[in-house]
Amino acid sequence: MSVDLSDEKFEKHREAGEILAQVREEAAERVEVGVSHLDVAEYAEERIRELGGEPAFPVNISIDEEAAHATPAPDDESEFGEEMVNLDIGVHVDGWLADTAVTVDLSGNAELAEASAEALEAAIDVVEPGVHTGEIGAEIESVIDGYGYNPVVNLSGHGLGHWEQHTEPNIPNRGVQQGVELEVGDVVAIEPFATDGGGKVSEGATEEIYALEREASVRDRGARQALEQIVEEFKTLPFARRWLETSRAEMALRRLKQKNVVHGYPVLKEEDGCLVSQKEHTVLVTEDGCEVTTRPR
């Protein structure tokens, strides 16, 4: 089956990627010791809107052993210290997505950041129609191992769908037998994570990101108001508690979780408490290789 990569949906993926490449660079430049996490997150999210997109999910700001799902609370006063900082940012244009991440190392562990960045480039180099996702994972694993670190094996890259942040296929961060072959027209986010720990993450106690599970009737006024905003603005994409306009957002989310209307994303942390670096690009599989939509043009 032939795929027309000039279709409107692919153009919107590209537009989202172009916006995201610019915002990633601008946000990364703002990460300095003493700067507020909330200021950087809100800057990036507002800049996305100024450039014609919408955030596909809340800006993730993961520190040291945190790997994913960390975003500032509404009243967050945290400031960057001499730490490893991962920025993971997403953009959508009419529901068509791009996803990217970069490590800003303020901790003095530049090689760990280089390991995930070089692993991403090695992975991109082998992307073409017919390549097995396990082969991509093997490239990632080989580079990270070469630096003397471990890939985070229970996190993976993923496909990007319409109003869906995570779809098939999964792109592993190590060589595996199971998987699929990529096809022309696949849009995938490849995201190596490298760590000086054992290479596994588990859920922490903190939760600031949520997503709609199902629509349902709710009696509580605040919960109903929050649900209306979620369905209208975010649909199935993740959102932050600080994005909700209801005055008692925490209580509203608690009620919606109790009814299995929304689910939360606990912060994921490296199990040994060790540092994690991350680098991510969105890639469109083309007939003769791939196109990286989240590189600066």
Q: Based on the residue annotation, tell me whether 132 is a catalytic residue of this protein.
A: no
Considering 114, 158, 186, 208, which one is annotated as catalytic? 158
Annotated binding-site residue? 158? yes
280 is catalytic: yes
Let me know if 191 is a catalytic residue. Answer: yes
| C-beta contacts of 222-226 below 8 A and 24+ residues apart | 222/246, 222/247, 222/248, 222/249, 222/251, 222/252, 222/255, 223/251, 223/252, 223/255, 223/256, 225/252, 226/252, 226/253, 226/256
Q: Which of 166, 220, 263, 272 is catalytic?
A: 166
From 15, 99, 105, 139, the catalytic residue: 99
Q: Is 166 annotated as a binding-site member? A: yes
Pick the catalytic residue from 135, 208, 270, 280. Answer: 280
Residue in 15, 83, 88, 208 annotated catalytic: 88
Strands (E) across the chain are located at 54-63, 66-68, 84-93, 96-105, 150-151, 157-161, 164-171, 187-190, 193-195, 201-212, 239-240, 262-270, 276-278, 281-286, 289-292
| CB-based contacts of 223, cutoff 8 Å, min separation 6 | 251, 252, 255, 256
Q: Is residue 13 annotated as involved in ligand binding?
A: no
Q: Residue 194 and residue 192: Cα distance in Å, rounded?
A: 7
3-class SS of residue 46: helix
Q: Which residues pair with 92 in a beta bridge?
A: 54, 97
Which of 191, 196, 207, 270 is catalytic? The answer is 191
69 annotated as belonging to a binding site for a ligand: yes
Residue 37 is assigned to a ligand binding site: no
Find out whether 203 is annotated in a ligand binding site. Answer: no
Asked if 88 is an active-site residue, the reply is: yes
Tell whether residue 181 is among the known ligand binding residues. Answer: no
* 7 annotated active-site: no
Binding-site residue numbers for substrate are: 69, 166
What residues are annotated to the active site?
88, 99, 158, 166, 191, 280
Binding-site residue numbers for a divalent metal cation are: 88, 99, 158, 191, 280
Binding-site residue numbers are: 69, 88, 99, 158, 166, 191, 280
